Structure 1
Amino acid sequence: MRRLLPAFIALALFGAACSSDDTSSDDTSAAPATDETPSTEAPSTEPPATDPPATEPPDTEPAVTEAPATDPPATDPPATDPPATEAPAAELAPFTPIGDGPYAVGVQTITITDAERDRPLTVDVWFPLAEGTTGDPYRYTFITGDYYESPRAIGADPASISPDGPFPLVVYTHGSGGLRYIHSDYTETLASHGYLVVAADHTGNTTVDQFLGTEDDRATIAYNRPRDVQVLIDEFLNPESLETVGFVASADPEQIAVTGHSLGGYATYAVASGMENEAGTLAPDPRIGALIPLAPALGDGNPETSLLVDERLAAVDVPTLVMVGTDDASTPPSPNVDRAFELATSSTLYRVDLVAAEHQSFTDVCDYLEFFPTLENPTEAVIETVEDFAEAGCSEGDMPIDRVKEITNTFAVSFLDSVFDGTEMITADTTEIPDDVIFAQR
């Protein structure tokens, strides 16, 4: 089979890892003087002579009491000394990459079926492991038999989940033509910091569907993706679900976030904003507490070509962190991120642009580029496909992938922790933002 499917790999893996088809597809001091009436001088026989002086004090006193009012300016300059206003700048903390969290990470693959749509979903679950759990490195395996071995996660089952939960639930949604584990470095990092992370292959919009010719039409894809996210949330909160029963007790129903790349970025917004087209209608999901869209595919707002119109984006009012590469040619910052940042009504809204990062910077393609050649007899088409996709994220001049990981993971964990744990978010007010990051908030 490894040699019968070279064409398949040309679509495989990353696809979406999305391309541009994702988008086609906010003074009483004077009073005492008047009190000093010449009552004691009344017996005088020369009242006229003494009357004028008695009335003069009120006329001259104000000048005396006003003088002090003009004196302070002479001492004011020291109070406005510039150094006092510069102090906060000296207190900014340095930007420090967050690295792996305190938990080892387990992974298990399960299947969930949405009976309403007769729709099977293959799902990967990343979770914090109980202390002392051991196992073999987890392999993300492709249909050709080629695989990418995780440098951090191990294969495990729900019985190995840390008892420290329940943990916030994070749903990840991949890009068009991608796969559930296309950004495992990101999903594993979140799990290592105490998050239960789940991601499904969006049936009808995966690499396999593109190869087999079973890909759904644009409207169906646009509806199914956010609906898939809702189904995952439903199932991981449902104690009667046979597929997820081992995970439900570890998922906090009051702390739910959605994150996704490219067309998955659209789905991230859509599940919070609601959407409608000829394939179906979804109302905004009130369970969502935070969003992290990565290089979202949103378009320019034209109802004929954009998946979410302005009114829908304006309905997004949950805390949001949007990240994008400045050199993304597939879903460029303008108009995709510009629209979302300007229109969203979230009271907590952050934007992080990674200087010189590209579209595939938010996937594991660069890691595949290094790992696949180390396999015994890797499928040549896999190598060629990885090299092609790597041009949009792993080329000379692009932000180094290790730096992309540092920035993406650090801001993501800081944001989620600030929303769900009340910790301080990394902002320009608290942290010295590095030169390779353009940060904004409103």
Structure 2
Amino acid sequence: MNKTALVGAALALGSMAFAQQNRIDTIRPDSPQLSPYGEYQIGVQTLKVVNPKQLDIVNATAGNPIPTYDRPLTLEVWYPAQLKADQKPGGVYNTTTRDASIAIQVYGKAVRDAEPLVKPEKFPLVIVSHGYPGNRYLLSHLTENLASKGYVVVAIDHTDSTFSDVKAFGSTLMNRSLDQLFVLNEIDKLSKNGSKSFLSGLVDANNTAVVGYSMGGYGVVNTIGGGFTDFATTLQFAPPNKALAARAASNPDYLKTVDSRIKAAIAIAPWGMQVGFWNAETLKGIKTPVLFVAGDRDDVSGYEKGTRAIFENAVNTNRYLLTFHNANHNAAAPMPAPVETYNNFPLFEAYSETAWDTVKMNNILAHFATAYLGMHLKGQTDMQKYLNLVENSNDGAGNTYWEGFKPRTALGLSLKYLPAGK
């Protein structure tokens, strides 16, 4: 082989190694016990759905009737799969960084369009909602992981709110909860026998959890009963004509939209409390069990006046607060920063945390999500031991050491529990 060919081969191998660094399925040796992938192979498919006659906030003007439109949504669906003899686990997601002009490839374990594994007992549903902006792959480390453990996981590309489609913030405020509820209904419909969808006979939509990060968490809080304050409907950046009043606690019809099919929720750094979208009274409508997750240095959603305040005031439900100490707004949720962002600090920082390794945070989130959803959606009462912990991980010693964590690895975390009525 001549010198030119050797250089070309070296560059090709370097490019391949560079690309393969964008993995979302890495499990560190120091990960907690429930972090690794589960027993099922994973398939993934993309769905296009349309929610008809929705308020067109982007084209709305104050004082005039808000026009309507048919709202398109792109969904990514992960599910337990039955691989053919010639299929091996693994696949690629073609997406972008937070800068949509930078196309990237991200690698995981799911196989595109693999045959679903249909069993007599259907799989619970988990709906995942990204931040603003974000996209349906931002939490793919968690979506794949949960699918391998026997869930159908559906992540939403929220129109007007993705890396490649960022429009008026008022649209995000209006549509997050509505998108989540619409997707629940759509997946329920597609899961019916005879639907001709790959989801037919696969999903138990009566046994659903919603997971949201940042503005996705904002949507989750509203979806499960946290009605907005009247004040929030009047904010300058809110949709015109007080359109958010439809989702306000003062609206007598609002609580009728809380869906009994949703058995649990995970809200990661939910935005809104710190600017007045909820208060102690409006949060009383939450009766769905919730696992809140946050960094105590969150300067976007806030911690003491943000996520922790929601946790403390949701007094009518059992809830947990998992805190990553010294972490900011990116605690646990975003996938590891793509290597294409390494020469652009602001872009890199959109995924990363200064005091924490992202893969470690992703692994810890997978561990607690596995325990929490297993308990609430699968009736796995043995998972309770992973949640009955001494509050501060640094205080654990002997038989009070955090269950499922290897020696010396449960540091910098806290898990607080409050039962309904407190």
**Both proteins in one fold, TM over 0.5:** yes
Q: Cα distance 1:244–1:269, how it changes in 2: closer, same or farther (>3 A)? A: farther
Name the structure 1 match of 2:413: 437
Per the alignment, residue 301 of structure 2 pairs with 331
CA distance in 2, matches of 1:254, 1:431: 36
| Aligned counterpart, 1:102 | 39
- Gaps spanning 5+ residues in structure 2: where? 1-30, 55-69, 234-241, 248-253, 391-398, 403-409
Instruction: Name which of structure 1's ranges 276-285 and 330-339 shifts more when overlaid on structure 2.
Output: 276-285
Which whole-Å CA distance do the structure 1 matches of 2:74 and 2:127 have between them? Answer: 13
Counterpart of 1:222, as a letter, is L
Q: Which amino acid aligns with 1:265?
A: G
Which residue type is aligned with residue 175 of structure 1?
G
Higher helix share: 1
Provide the secondary structure at the position in 1 that maps to 2:161. coil
- Listed one character per residue, the Cα deviations across residues 160-212 of structure 1 (whole Å, up to 9, x for unaligned) are 335364111111010011111111101111111111111111112222232xx
Question: What letter corresponds to residue 215 of structure 2 in structure 1?
Answer: L
SS of residue paired to 1:292: strand
Identify the residue that residue 85 of structure 1 maps to in structure 2: none
Residues 258 and 268 in structure 1, CA contact (< 8 A), matched pair in contact too: yes
Task: Give the AA of the match of 1:400.
Answer: D
Match of 1:428 among 382, 389, 392: 389
What is aligned with 1:293?
A: 267
Q: 1:310 aligns to what SS in structure 2?
A: coil
**What does residue 327 of structure 2 align with?**
357
**1:96 CA displacement:** 2.8
User: 5+ residue gaps in structure 1?
Assistant: 1-93, 373-381
Give yes or no for contact 1:361–1:393 (8 Å, CA) kept in 2: no
- 2:177 corresponding residue in structure 1: 226
- 1:71-127: CA deviations, max 9, x gaps? xxxxxxxxxxxxxxxxxxxxxxx9634311111221111100012321000111111
Aligned with 2:95 (options 134, 138, 141): 141
Matched, 1:415 2:351: no
- Cα RMSD for the two superposed structures: 2.7
Output aligned runs, 1:30-69, within 5 Å. Answer: none
Distance between the aligned counterparts of 1:132 and 1:367, measured in 2?
32
Deviation at 1:389, TM superposition (A): 3.8
Moved over 4 A (4+): 239-244, 382-385
Does 1:405 find its partner at 2:362? yes
Shift of 1:352: 0.7
Equivalent-residue separation in structure 2 for 1:364 and 1:119 (angstroms): 26
Q: Which moved more, 1:172-181 or 1:280-289?
A: 280-289
- Identity among equivalent positions (%) equals 25
2:306 aligned partner, one-letter code: N
Matching residue within 197, 206, 213 for 2:153: 197
Distance in structure 2 (CA, Å) of the matches to 1:289 and 1:202: 23
User: Secondary structure of the residue that 1:359 maps to in structure 2?
Assistant: coil
TM-score by length of 2: 0.70
Give 3-state SS (helix, strand or coil) of 1:227's partner: helix
Cα distance in 1 for partners of 2:320, 2:169 equals 33
Which structure ranks higher in relative contact order (CA pairs < 8 Å, sequence separation ≥ 6)? 1
Does structure 2 conserve the Cα–Cα contact (< 8 Å) formed by 1:106 and 1:154? yes
How far apart, CA to CA, are the structure 1 residues paired with 2:203 and 2:185? 11
